[in-house]
Structure 1
Amino acid sequence: MASAPRTRTPRERYRDRTRAEIKEIAVRQLADGGVESVALLRIAKELGMSGPALYRYFAGRDDLLAELVMDAYDSIASEVQAVDTSAGDRAALHALATAFRAWAVAQPHLYLLLQGTPVPGFTAPAETVDRARAVLGPFLPVFAEGRPVRSVNPLLTELRAWLRKDTAVAAWVEEWTGLSAAKPAAAVALTGAITAWPQLHGTVGLEAAGQFTGMGHAPATLLAVQVDMLADTFQLA
C-alpha cells in the first residue's frame, strides 16, 4: 500500500507562498521594463522585508531568473500540450504553431526571457532542457508519418545518428511517438520537430520583439505560410 503524502508544515506553506509572491513581482517588473528591471531589493521593499531576508528564498537574481525561465517553459508546454491534434498532421501542425504563437504574443516579456541569455553570464539550469523538450514534444508525432523531400536528407542523417547515440533523446522521441530509435520514422519525427523549432522561434521571436511593426503583413499570416511550407517539405496530409 502506498504511503499517504506527507502533510506540509505551516512554515513550508508560508515559504511556498512567499516564493510565489516574489516571482509574481519579478514577472511584473519584467513586463514593465525588461530583464534589467528585475531588482531583488525593490522586490523585498514591496513585500515589506529586508534585502538579506529575500536571499532566504532565492540565492540571487540569476536563481530567480532561472525559476522564471522554467515556469515560462512549463506554461507554454501546458498550452501546446492541450492542443487537439486529431484532425490530421497538417492541421495539427497549424494548431500547435498557433498555440505557441498565442502564448508568446500574450506575454512577450516571458517569451523573450526564453530567447538567448537574459543577462550576461547567466547559465540556465540543466532542467531547462527537459522543459524545452516538453514544449516540442507534441510536434514529434505530427511528423512521424512524414515523407521528407530529398533536400532534408543531410539533416535527417545527422539526427538519425544523434537519436541512436543519445539515449535521453531516444527516450523523449519514444515517449511522444511510441517509436524506438531503430525505427526510420523516429528519425523523421525528430527531424521534423527540430526543423519546426527555429521556424517557430524565428517568426514568433521577431513579432514578440516588435520587429514586424510597420511592415505590410500580419505575423499570423506569415507563420501560417511557413507552417504550410514545412508541411509540404515533409509531405504531411
Structure 2
Amino acid sequence: MSYIVSIGKYVGMIKGVFSKPERFKVYYTRTLTEIETIGINSAGIVAILSVFMGAVISLQTASNMDSPLLPKYTIGYITRSSTILEFSPTIISLILAGKVGSNIASEVGTMRVTEQIDALEIMGVNSLSFLVLPKVIAAVFFFPFLIICSMGLSIIGGYYAVTLSGLASHEEFTFGIRAFFKTSDITYALIKTCVFAFIIVTVSSYYGYFTKGGALDVGKSSTQAVVWSSIVILLTNFILTQLILM
C-alpha cells in the first residue's frame, strides 16, 4: 500500500514540475546553472571511467579469444558494441545516479528541512517547477552529450590498450569498430540516456522534496534516492531493450 501511495505522490510531483513557469528568464538562468552543476562537473569522472572501462573490455575480449577461427577485428567489434549498447548509456547513468542523484536529493532535502521550500510557496512560487524543472531540462539535454563523449573515450581507451599491448593491430581494431555498424544503435543508446536522465532527476528530487525531519533524514533521503534511481534505471533498461531492440 505504501508503494502505491509513493507512486501517487511521485506522479503528482511530476504534474507540479511541468506546470507553466512564472518567469522564463529565471528558469533560463537556473537551467544554465544546473547544466554546469549536473553536467559539466560530471565530465571528469565520466571521462576517467570511460577510458579505463573501454580498455578493460577490449583486454578481456582479447584474452578470451582462444579460438583461431575468430578474427582479430572481433576485439574492436565487441568493444564498440558493448560500449554503445550497454556500457556508456547504462553503466555511466548508474554512476551518475550516485553522483548527481545524491547531490540533488541532498540539496532539495536540505531546503525542505530548513523551510526554504515553505518560504517559496508562501511567496506564491511553484516550488516544484522552480527547483526541479531546470534540473530535468539540464539533465535530459546534457547527459546525451556526456554519453557520446563516453562512447568515444571508451573506444579510444580500448584501442590503445590492445594496440600498445600487441594483441591487435591498428588496422584490425579499426576494422572491427567499423564492421556491421548500425546508426540505430546510437539512437537506441541516446533514447535510453534521456529516459535515465529523467529518472535520476525526478526520483532524486522526489526523495529530497518529501524529506521530513533533520540533517540525518536528509542523508537517508539521499541514500534512498541513489538506490531507487538505480533500481528504476535497471528495470527501465530491460523494458526499453525489449521495446526497441526486440
- TM normalised by structure 2 equals 0.39
- Structure with greater contact order relative to length (CA < 8 Å, sep ≥ 6): 2
Higher helix share: 2
- TM normalised by structure 1 equals 0.40
